[in-house]
Amino acid sequence: MPAADPTGHGTRLCALLERGNDAVEIVLGQVLDAAGRTTAAVVAAAVNWCVEQDVHLIHLSLGLAADRVCLAHAIEQALRRGCVIVAAVPARGATTYPAAYHGVVRGTGDARCQPGEISRLDETTFGGCPAGAGRGGGASIGALQVTRALTLASAPCRTERALRALEAAALYHGRERRGRSAG
């Protein structure tokens, strides 16, 4: 029996990931409570569980404000086991965890991107269309588009290979530039 999704966020993301992507197999680890909150320990436990389930690509459409030893250790162990991890990071402002950890592919929203398009913002940060899940959007949806690109490219065996596949698929390079308004 699937875990309850009290916020509906995971269910919406899974629907986006599965759309037109018949080969994807999703293993869902619920980490948010009804208020949309979680802790580093809960996320670390979910990452550890994914590794135990032999998951090769872990998507985390979330970001925590502070570094925690338990989360850093879980991410490090998953990366050592060969997992590719994509984590959401805000387009502006302070970076979040686990996206800040070395070896994690960072995903965010990029307004230049249409559904199915991705951008390369820097060596390990990629953007995707920030809309598409009903209510909400932004970094978590953009990060999901990055994960989706990896599933469609069949490339997530190792982080280096995943980064090369994303770079090859990117339509835009460099950060978004805000235009000046006329007036």
Give the pLDDT confidence of 12-58 residue by residue, as tens digits. 887 777 777 777 788 888 898 888 899 999 999 999 999 999 999 99
Percent pLDDT > 90 in the chain is 55
Full-model pTM: 0.88
pLDDT per residue over 89-114, tens digit each? 998 888 899 999 999 999 999 999 99
Q: What is the mean pLDDT of the chain?
A: 86
**d(C-alpha 143, C-alpha 131), whole Å:** 11
**pLDDT score for 178:** 60
Q: What is the 3-state secondary structure (H, E, C) of 47-108?
A: HHHHHHCCCCEEEECCCECCCCHHHHHHHHHHHHCCCEEEEECCCCCCCCECCCCCCCEEEE
Nearest CA among 63, 3, 8 for reference residue 27: 3
Q: What is the set of domains in the chain, with CATH numbers?
A: 42-173 (3.40.50.200)
- Return the minimum-mean-pLDDT range out of 43-57, 122-136, 161-175: 122-136
Confidence of residue 182 (pLDDT cuts 50, 70, 90): very low
With 60 as the cut, is the pLDDT of residue 120 above it? yes
- Measuring CA to CA, how many Å separate 174 from each of 15, 97, 101, 117? 29, 22, 21, 14
Do strands 172-173 and 84-88 pair parallel, antiparallel, or not at all (unpaired)? unpaired
